[in-house]
Structures are given as C-alpha cells and as structure tokens.
Structure 1
C-alpha cells in the first residue's frame, strides 16, 4: 500500500508534522510542498544577531594577537623581575628556571587580554546552531530546510578543525542557503571560495612549487580541496577522473586563500587570491585544457565541472537516495539527471522534478530519520519548546553532533547507518526524555491521530491506546514507524 500523500508531504519532503499540519494540508499535499519552492528568500536564515563569517574571523584573529601580546608582556616582565634580583639567581635550579614565572610582579605587568579565540568561536557556533534548530522547529516550509541540510552535508565542513568552529554556521548561511533554489555552479563557487571550506581542506597551505612564493619556501601543493571537489562535490568517485586531474586542479587552485591569514590586508576573513602563490601554466582537468588566467582559471574550471555529465549523474543519484531510498527507482534517477542537465544545474528545478515525480509519492517510507532530523521531529511533533541546545545534545547523543561529520564525505545516507541495537536503545532513552518534556495535559492518543491522520496504522494506534501511562503512550508514539521513518 503506497503511503498517504499527506504523510509524504510532511515526512519525506519535510521534518515531520506539527499538530494541525496533517489536517491543514490535506486538500493539496503536493501544492503545499511546491509552495516552498516559490520564494528563494524563504531558505535564508535572517537573524540580525548572527555575525558574518569575516567578522568572526577578524574577532578571533584580534583575540589571538591580544593573547600573543599578553604572553610577550608576561615574559618581558619575568625577565625584568629576574634582572632586578640578580643575587637570587644562583639559588634557582635549571628546572625551576624553565617553568613559567609566577612572581606577583610579573602578573601585575600582564595586560588584560580580550576574549579568548576559542570562546569567540564556541559562542558563534552555539548561536548559529540555536538559530538553525529554531528555524527547523518552527518553519512551515520544511522542504527548504531539508534542501539546506542536504546541500550542507554534500559540501560539508567540520568544527573539529578549530578555526572552522566559529565559521560553520555562517558558511551554511552564506554559501548554501542563498543557492538552494539557484544554480549548482553558483553554489559550487560560493562553497569552494568560502573561508570555512578553504580552512577545512587546508587550501591556504597549498603553494605552487614554481610560483614566486614556492621558489622561496620548501612547501608545495596540497591536493585536499582539489580531490574532494572531484570525488565528492562534482563528478563523483566513478566520474572518470584520475590522479593527474587531481594534481592539475590543485595547481589551478593555488593562490586561493583567505585575507589576513598570514598578514594584514583589506580582505581579512574573506576569499583572497594571491598571485605570488599561484602555480603558472596551462593544465587539463577532466578532458578540458585551461589556460592560466589567475583566479579566473579556477572559477572557469569549477563552472565546467558543474556542467559535466558525470556531475549530473552523481547529484541525481545522491538526491534520490537521500529523499527516497538506498536503492531509488532508476527511472527517477534518470528524470533528476535529465533535469539537472537540461536546466544547467538549476537546483530549484531539480527539487521540483523530485516533487512532481510519481515515484516520490508511491515509494514506501524506507529511510530512518537521522539523529538531527529525529530531534527536530520531536520538537515539532511534541511541541517541545526547550532550549535548542538541549535538543541538539539529544542528536549528539545519538551520534550526529551538528557540523561534525566523520569526514569530508559527510554523514552517511545509507539506512543501516542509524540502525542497530545500541542506536535503537539510545533512541528509546531519548524518546523517554522527550516525553517528559511535553505538557502534562497532552494525550498521546489524540496527538497520534492529529499528527498522522489516516496514515496512523492500527498496530500503532492500539499500542498507544493500551499504554499504561501517558508517558508510555508518548514513548510508543515516538518509537512508531510513523514517527521514525520517511
């Protein structure tokens, strides 16, 4: 039996129903989803309290300078203190001399530093995460949030690399959200030139061996960014590229970096091209030769990769796997690939092609909610208004801390990635905790009927009805297939 169209709209193309949603959209579920695609501005996270990435970058850079000044002043004060009492010097052992000075005089001379860099990054990350979760919890346009989450994972960065911690949220706001209904090529360029990605994949360390800077330093190419662009971001591991393509793309991308990373300039925390670090020459990538035109060469290469036939196939299959099943219907993948090619990578049209495909509405709910999506579904379905940080900790406890994927490949989309005895037990524990956060007047039987309507199965309805306590009924509802799968 195919799933009910209302359930598909709210679960497959959404983040789970809120009370009242199922009834509200019953007249036109497809139209409800398509409305989300009508206005690209709905994908933006407009929060005036969130700083642009370059502001956070510059603030941490200033804090690092202040720390260095404080350390230097402390060392100078310690030397002055030692010179002021030379008669005491013979009494100091070599081991004691190697220890940091603790004299009151040295402490008094230490300037008071500003915020620590780690604190600035951590606070920026917390504020970004809270704003992101709150939008996911409350938005009526959940399909747009699903698209943001998909592309953010496709072009992932990780806060496990210290400098990225303060930039990951801004990366999503600045490089992903403005383009989720726009062109893939524009998103690709925005992503690869964003400081968060350049730091995450060590691009700032890449120097052309034959560039002016390379001839003066014992450093060379770093292929991380080039490899992930080819393997993960565009044509895919089976797209037909080789090691020579990776090396040549790395050569083309030399000079791409961040203003203020090594020295002061007028582009602190923003993308900056440094000709002195750029490897000269013409290079071939994926069968096309690119003449050396500085930064424009890399941009032209990205634009070409965005239009590559293998990129269309790679994106189409990944899109279908994410939204439908681990083994999506080949006909659906073909439709998505054709849409990507014929519209020059128009991501709004790609999303529309998915929503209007009959296969998307007839396929059974085969995908288990990943932990982050599960925590959002809990907040939406149960009306939990707890601080976002508390709900984000639930996702982390299930193994999916926000903006901390296991590697550049991002979080896995395979259904079995989130199954197994231990993850299921943890979901049960979290379901019990979430049920305690709901209002005492909430009736799980009424809530089940409200959230799932005609899609509510008889076994789930009976299990909730026969629960011995309200809390147990809530747990059974949350652990049901209706809640856990999409």
Structure 2
C-alpha cells in the first residue's frame, strides 16, 4: 500500500490525482494526502456548479427553440425591410441629405456626436456556454483536493461532446456534464455509459438524430437509413477500444439497435422539447446480433441491453484501465498497474470507486516519477488555485484557447490528447510561458511574497534551482511566472 506521511510523495499525489495545493493547505494536506483522496472517493458524490443559467435540459430546450424562432423572425424582418434597389446599386451617386451641403457646410456648427454604442451582449448560445464554463471553473478552484474535478475532466473528455458542433452543443455541453457525467463519477461505469449515450448533447454530436432504421416506418417512408457515427464511437472510443475485437458488421448492427434514440422536437409530441426520447417510428425492427449475441428486446430496452453488455465486456475493462493509468500516472502505462485496475473493474462489475481506490492505494501509482505534464486545463486551474486569483470568463477562455484546450471543444470525438507529446511542443511551451507571464502580472498585487508562495504550494518538491530562480527574479510578476513554469509545478 502507498506510504502515508511522506511529504514529497503527498505533494506529488495532490498534483497527480488532484489540482494541486491552494495557499495555506501546506504540510498537513501533503501529510494526509492519501487519506484525503480516499475520503473524497468514500464521500461518493460530485458537487454541482452553482449559478448556471439553466437548471436542466427542459429549460434549455425551451430557450433553444425560442432562440431559433427569434432568429428566424429577425431574418425575415431584415429581408422584408431590404430596399428593392438603392441609388448606389444602380451606379448613381448618393444624394445629400436635405438641407445639407456636405459633412460640415460653411457657417454650420459641429453637430453633436452620437453616443458611443454599448457592446452587445453575446447571443444566447454563447452566453450559456460562458456562464457554464465560469461556474465549472469556480467549483474547481474551491475544491479541497480537486480529485473529483479531475475525474470529471477525465470522463467528460472520454465521453466528449463539442460546442463547435451546433447551437445544441454550445448550449448543452455544460448541462451534459452536470447531468450525464457528475452524478456517475462515483458510481458504476454502466450507469455512466447509459447516461452519456442517451443525452441529447451526445446524440446531436455523434449524429444519431439522423440515424433511421431502413425498415422502420420512417425509413420506408423517407427512404433514409443508418448513420453509424454514434455506434462506431461507442465501441471504439467509449467501451471496447479500437482493438476490442469487434467488426464492421458489429458497428452496423449496433447502429440498428440504437435507432430511435433521439431528441424531442419543438412540438413536444414525444417529450419536452430538447429532452432525450425514444422514437419507435425511427427504430429498426427485429432481433439484431452483436458480438455473437442476439438482442431481441423491444424498443428502447434493446439498446439498453446492448450498452449494458458492452459496459461489462472484458475489453472495456482493459481499455478503461489503460486510459485511467495513462491519464494519472504515465504516458506509457505500467502494465502491472493496468492489470490491477482492469481486474478490479471486472471483479467489481464496473464499480468506479473500487477502481479509484485501487489506483490511489497502489505503490506503482504513488511512487511513479512525476513525468506527466499538466494539460492546459489542469495548468490553468492549478495556477489560479495557487495564486488565489478569481478569473472572469475572458481570463479563462483566452489562455485556454491560446494553449489549445478550451472547455468542451475537442478537435474530434476522441477528445483531447492525453500525452505529453500533445502539449510539450516548442510552440506549446512558448505559449505557456506567455500565459504564465500574464498570470504573473495579474497576481502581482495578490502575491506579495512569491518565495513564500513557492514554499507553501510546492513544499518539499521545491528544488534549489527553482527556489533560486524565484528569489533572483527581476520583478514580482516574473517571480510568479517562473514559479508557474517550474518543472515541479508543470509536472505531476
């Protein structure tokens, strides 16, 4: 079992499994790191962000459709108000306004300048995204160890959606994390999988709203068929992994099984607008084989049964264990630790707290060298925690966009990369230096003693070289930036 009371190991653990120390947590936190991490697992619940603009999908659905209707009315009004033909469009010079001879005719005093227009509030989808991100960051900054927030980041990236896909994604990414991810972080993988795959944000992101059973009533009427994106990513990215032993036929059959999983429309005929619904008119009828087993359950139950079996498949245990170890411990996951977590996953039937406890208690995880570089999101959260700054949305979005990891905007359905190679390029490090310099300037007044902060935040991990660099800095902002860019702070 991992050693308790070792201050250096405890400090690394707070960065490896959490978001790093906040000022004042100090030695006691490092000494009790393992016990505190395990206590957070034992608590078994993930807190929810506060101050979000919409409490759930129902309210977002109504707002989203109302926003679309408003946009349509505005477009129609602009089109109706457009002049048939202006003098300029016919090649004629524009006429001067009546009673004027130019911009400032002789003998006329300067006219009062119009008031400077106030900046317009962003459109509803971006406002919703903005407020969800801000609430999410505030929660992470206030967390004790940050373990729950790290797990939320991990699972949100594993079951990722993107705000770049559509207004549905932009408005629902935050509520997707709140409804599908957070309630199941300390639950069973099976429940997490079902919640993620049945959420409207996921169904929109992976195009299952466009998948229609060819022999369903709608398929026969419209002559449309399957969209396999959803099924393929479930098997390749969410459960079995690319080497999980499935075939293209299995992908096609899972797509058949999951037809009818969709989002309720504005008419609310099958459910409140924007919510998850099963539409039997889109569902491919009949029993369908998958991975050597026939699924003949009726309607929604067929998909639930298939996903449940995928959640408990041995390949899923191996895939999830590998990803967890790669995320928390090393780019090249130690095989012994992977096997421990995979065996725990199988034995506990996907009980995630059991898997986390095995990870945190493992000497292989606890004593591994700090080789993993913090991702941009982890770096931002750890830096704001360390300096005590309370960022606004621009101070969150700007740095993350520059470093390449905005919240809920991965480049593809496989999520953001989880290896050093993705973040430790020469250009990536240069950007981090620029970002750290900006944070140093912001925190200069809030951090009167950067040397004291370095000792407080890093404790026994602080090297003589970093201590000397911070002490010899030309200014307080530079000292803070050097602390944030030190190897001890960057790596976990």
TM-score after normalising by structure 1: 0.89
Using a 3 Å threshold, how does the CA distance of structure 1 residues 124 and 9 change in structure 2: closer, same or farther?
same
Please give the alpha-carbon distance, in whole angstroms, between the structure 2 residues aligned to 1:6 and 1:292: 50
Pick from 448, 451, 454 the counterpart of residue 448 of structure 1: 454
Which deviates the most, 132-141 or 2-11?
2-11
Which deviates the most, 281-290 or 221-230?
281-290
Counterpart position of 2:291:
286
Shift of 1:69: 4.4
Pick from 332, 355, 361 the counterpart of residue 366 of structure 2: 361
Q: Deviations over 1:311-330 (max 9, x none)?
A: 00000000000000011211
Please give the alpha-carbon distance, in whole angstroms, between the structure 1 residues aligned to 2:138 and 2:403: 19
Pick from 205, 222, 228 the counterpart of residue 223 of structure 1: 228
Please give the alpha-carbon distance, in whole angstroms, between the structure 2 residues aligned to 1:388 and 1:351: 32
3-state SS, counterpart of residue 238 of structure 1: coil
3-state SS, counterpart of residue 326 of structure 1: coil
Counterpart position of 1:399:
404
Counterpart position of 1:463:
469
3-state SS, counterpart of residue 366 of structure 1: coil
Please give the alpha-carbon distance, in whole angstroms, between the structure 2 residues aligned to 1:49 and 1:63: 15
Please give the alpha-carbon distance, in whole angstroms, between the structure 1 residues aligned to 2:426 and 2:31: 40
Counterpart position of 1:88:
none
Shift of 1:469: 2.3
Q: How does 1:299-448 map to 2 (within 5 A)?
A: 299-440=304-445, 442-448=448-454
Please give the alpha-carbon distance, in whole angstroms, between the structure 1 residues aligned to 2:86 and 2:479: 71
Pick from 1, 4, 19 the counterpart of residue 8 of structure 2: 4
Contact in 2 for aligned 1:372/1:392 (Cα 8 Å): no
Shift of 1:435: 0.5
Using a 3 Å threshold, how does the CA distance of structure 1 residues 141 and 53 change in structure 2: closer, same or farther?
farther
Please give the alpha-carbon distance, in whole angstroms, between the structure 1 residues aligned to 2:155 and 2:86: 60
Q: How does 1:99-248 map to 2 (within 5 A)?
A: 119-162=123-166, 163-248=168-253
Counterpart position of 1:59:
63
Counterpart position of 1:87:
none
Using a 3 Å threshold, how does the CA distance of structure 1 residues 463 and 48 change in structure 2: closer, same or farther?
closer
Contact in 2 for aligned 1:3/1:364 (Cα 8 Å): no
Using a 3 Å threshold, how does the CA distance of structure 1 residues 301 and 436 change in structure 2: closer, same or farther?
same
Tell whether 2:37 aligns with 1:28.
Answer: no
Counterpart position of 2:102:
none
Pick from 465, 482, 486 the counterpart of residue 480 of structure 1: 486
Using a 3 Å threshold, how does the CA distance of structure 1 residues 436 and 74 change in structure 2: closer, same or farther?
closer
Shift of 1:263: 6.6
Please give the alpha-carbon distance, in whole angstroms, between the structure 2 residues aligned to 1:264 and 1:124: 26
The root-mean-square deviation of aligned C-alpha atoms, in Å, is: 2.4
Contact in 1 for aligned 2:444/2:480 (Cα 8 Å): no
Shift of 1:38: 2.1
Shift of 1:216: 0.8
Which deviates the most, 146-155 or 433-442?
433-442
3-state SS, counterpart of residue 479 of structure 2: helix
Contact in 1 for aligned 2:7/2:31 (Cα 8 Å): no
3-state SS, counterpart of residue 41 of structure 1: coil
Counterpart position of 1:251:
256
Tell whether 2:20 aligns with 1:16.
Answer: yes
Residue ranges of structure 2 left out of the alignment (5+ in a row)? 1-5, 91-119
Using a 3 Å threshold, how does the CA distance of structure 1 residues 384 and 46 change in structure 2: closer, same or farther?
closer
Residue ranges of structure 1 left out of the alignment (5+ in a row)? 83-90, 97-115
Please give the alpha-carbon distance, in whole angstroms, between the structure 2 residues aligned to 1:484 and 1:301: 42
Please give the alpha-carbon distance, in whole angstroms, between the structure 1 residues aligned to 2:337 and 2:284: 42
Shift of 1:49: 4.5
TM-score after normalising by structure 2: 0.88
Which deviates the most, 304-313 or 392-401?
392-401
Using a 3 Å threshold, how does the CA distance of structure 1 residues 19 and 283 change in structure 2: closer, same or farther?
same
Which deviates the most, 462-471 or 119-128?
462-471
Counterpart position of 1:111:
none
Counterpart position of 2:108:
none
